[in-house]
Chains A and B, each alone.
Chain A
């Protein structure tokens, strides 16, 4: 009898726990999603609706801000620039970072772990401390305001990031896979490209997309290293927000912000799908 009673209370308790967890999740989602929602809502408002108190939730939406801003040619150019830079640095960092991570995971070298850790710790240097020297170097090489400059600058923090993530991933793969491939007729490189890369594809793709997102929304280096030709979207947003003459045009700001965030959300959803798929595959278990 008492066992049954205990069982019932336990179940009741766990149901309560589940409710608490769900509520916490809802609150967290709300906290994170509300600003996003607010931004999207604001972008469809007219300037005079934005600061009404209490805020209007129901208003006649207008595409005015989108129309005006998407007519500005520099926004398009910036979008294209941002895509070039994000894709470029994403691809470059995944290629270099994955290979470096593989080397760190597999090559028996005294202090390999320390080297890896140092490379990762280098990310602790505040970017602002690097931005100015980078600008000077770029100017010296005549590389200011070029895509490649931004791509390389982003790689300085993306490669260590990719390297560390992929190192962990490769460590979880049994080394007998490559050994088997090497006995079967592959070189070390062949084993990497024919066996390890295909197995790690979900991990590689999601890491690359994370990198692309980081590059997509980076502001500081873009601000310092580019000015007309290669400038990216975050710089434009900063420009609108920091317009001291007319005051910030909030509708415009949120419209451009929405355009910027949209691909990130789509990418993040893709990544999530791949990650889940990768886990479900149990790709690492022979």
Chain B
């Protein structure tokens, strides 16, 4: 087990910079998720930690050791790839034991460790099968098994669950979490699925276009997103945004409609107000919204409404008898209103 220290790391491909100085400190035993939209540089960063890509500038240290010039095999890491990369000519046992064999671990010890990993992952009956005779979920497990028999300093995962169907993904997610609680190995987990990141990680790093937008515990990102980008990225369904200027305690939209604000803001300023769908309350008074679609799922109901032509999504627990075409009133607690600067996209801290 080890810390991972990423210091002002940059990466260029032939003059084109894709990572613009990323710094992340990962304490020993922590589970960190890297999230962000496609192409933001998550895999590139992970591959630099693994040693599969050169570091153009900056430093990466695993434990005390700066690893910029250390080849992958000497970094004591294990990586699980999106396509699993199981060795097709080896059976499950050989796949899992391969790394240990390369390190000249004794045969009996390899067998013991493979058996142990197979037991943890429920692979005992599959040890003699070739990868092509396994289902997607089983292959995924073998890939994880290959990582855990190593007992490495750091686990690296690059979207390991994205090739599985939704149900299996949910199951594997829980198993991964359990596995981390048991092994307590430092883990860097890349995903573009914010739910995966939120549920698995101790800390989430949101990346955008080669920069770190924000990092912190999952609920902090949810409660206090520091930018419009993070606000829109974290949470599902995503946060609603309405832009306008402040006048006499209300948000004035571009068509002149006035929405009363639950907090006092300096008049005359232009802001973006953000409210999560689940934070609206249907009340007697509040923002008037015309219902266009009602989608019940049983435990909760998603209502799509329009406020002055802007789509606003509302999520309420339980069921409702609201009908399309009706006008409802949405009220918001002051603590649930997020205010952003429309120019910079940064969060505006508000008193209280």
- Chain A positions within 8 Å of B, measured between CB atoms, are 110, 174, 176-177, 179-187, 190, 195, 198-199, 281-286
Contact check, A182 vs B72: say whether CB atoms are below 8 A apart: yes
Nearest to B47 among chain A residues (CB) is A179
Residues A184 and B73 in contact, CB atoms below 8 Å apart:
yes
Q: Which A residues lie within 8 Å of B33 (CB)? A: none
Per-residue A-contact encoding for B171-196, CB less than 8 Å = 1, 0 else: 00000000000000000000000000
**Complex Cα gap A198–B95 (Å):** 14
Chain B interface residue count, CB cutoff 8 Å, equals: 28
Residues of B at under 8 Å CB distance from A?
Answer: 14, 50-52, 71-73, 75, 77-79, 81, 83-89, 98-99, 102-103, 131-132, 139, 146, 150
Q: Which 9 A-B residue pairs are closest in the complex by CB-CB distance? A: A185-B102, A184-B99, A176-B85, A180-B85, A176-B81, A185-B73, A183-B72, A182-B72, A198-B89
Instruction: Enumerate 22 A-B pairs (CB-CB under 8 Å) in ascending A order.
Output: A176-B85, A179-B79, A179-B81, A179-B85, A180-B79, A180-B87, A182-B72, A183-B51, A183-B52, A183-B72, A183-B78, A183-B79, A184-B73, A184-B146, A185-B73, A185-B102, A195-B87, A282-B132, A283-B89, A284-B88, A286-B88, A286-B131
Q: A100: shortest Cβ distance to chain B, in Å? A: 23
Given that A174-B85, A283-B89, A286-B86 are known contacts, is A186 also in contact with B102, CB under 8 Å in the complex?
yes
Q: Is the CB of A177 within 8 A of B85?
A: yes
Closest-by-CB residue of B relative to A201 is: B89
- A182 with B71: in contact, given A176-B81, A176-B83, A286-B139 (CB under 8 Å)? yes
Residues B88 and A283 in contact, CB atoms below 8 Å apart:
yes
Chain B residues with CB under 8 Å of A281's CB are 132
Chain A residues contacting B73 (CB-CB under 8 Å) are: 182-187
Query: Are A185 and B103 in touch, CB under 8 angstroms?
Result: yes
**Contact A183–B131 (Cβ < 8 Å):** no
- Give the interface centre of A176, A186, A199, A284 by most chain B CB atoms within 10 Å: A176
Flag if B87 contacts A177 (CB, 8 Å).
Answer: yes
**Taking the nearest CB of chain B, how far is it from the CB of A97, in angstroms?**
22
Inter-chain CA distance A132–B14, complex, in Å, is 44
Residue in contact with B132 in the complex, picked from A174, A180, A182, A285, CB distance below 8 Å:
A285
A111 vs B99: C-alpha distance when bound (angstroms): 34
CB pair B52 A285 closer than 8 Å: no
Q: How far is the CA of A140 from the CA of B85 in the complex (A)?
A: 52
Known A-B contacts A174-B83, A176-B81; the reply to A184 vs B89 at CB < 8 A is no
Residues on the B chain within 8 Å of A282, using CB = 88, 132
Which residues from B are CB-within-8-Å of A110?
Answer: 14
A186 cross-chain contacts in B, Cβ below 8 A = 73, 102
**How many Å from the CB of A6 to the closest CB on chain B?**
38
Query: Which residues of chain B have C-beta atoms less than 8 A from A187's C-beta?
Result: 71, 73
Out of B51, B81, B88, B150, which one reaches A285, CB within 8 Å?
Answer: B88
User: Which residue of B has the minimal Cβ distance to A180?
Assistant: B85
State which of B14, B51, B79, B85 has its C-beta within 8 Å of the C-beta of A286.
Answer: B85
Q: A195-B87, A286-B88 are in contact. Are A180 and B102 (CB under 8 A)?
A: no
Cβ of B78: which chain A residues have Cβ within 8 Å of it? 183
A190–B83 Cα distance when bound, in Å, is 21
Contact B87 A183 (CB under 8 A): no
**Does B84 lie within 8 Å of A286, measured CB to CB?**
yes
**Residue contact A184 to B98, C-beta cutoff 8 Å:** yes
What is the CB-to-nearest-CB distance from B83 to chain A, in angstroms, rounded to a whole number?
Answer: 6
Question: Which B residues are CB-close (under 8 A) to A181?
Answer: 87, 98
Bound Cα distance from A195 to B102, whole angstroms: 12
Docked complex Cα distance between A198 and B88 (Å): 9
Q: How far is the CA of A200 from the CA of B73 in the complex (A)?
A: 23
- Complex: chain B residue closest to A185, CB-CB: B102
Residues of A within 8 Å of B99, CB to CB, are 183-185
Given contacts A110-B14, A182-B73, 17 further A-B contacts (CB under 8 A): A179-B52, A179-B72, A180-B81, A180-B146, A181-B87, A182-B71, A182-B72, A183-B52, A183-B78, A185-B103, A186-B102, A190-B102, A199-B88, A282-B132, A283-B89, A286-B85, A286-B139
Tell me how far the C-beta of A221 lies from the nearest C-beta in chain B, rounded to whole angstroms.
37
Q: Tell me, rounded to whole Å, the shortest Cβ–Cβ distance linking B289 to chain A.
A: 48
List residues of chain A with CB within 8 A of the CB of B131: 286
> Chain A: which residue is nearest B98 at the CB level?
A184
Shortest CB–CB separation between residue A35 and chain B, in angstroms? 41
List, in ascending order, chain A residues with CB within 8 A of B72's CB: 179, 182-183
Closest chain B residue to A190, Cβ basis? B102
* Contact assessment for A182 and B88 in the assembled complex, using a CB-CB cutoff below 8 Å: no
| Interfacial chain A residues near B150, Cβ < 8 Å | 184
- Point out the residues of chain A lying under 8 angstroms from B139, CB to CB: 286
Please name the residue on chain B nearest to A182 by beta carbon: B72
Chain A nearest CB from B310 CB (Å) reads 44
Least Cβ–Cβ distance between B66 and chain A, in angstroms: 19
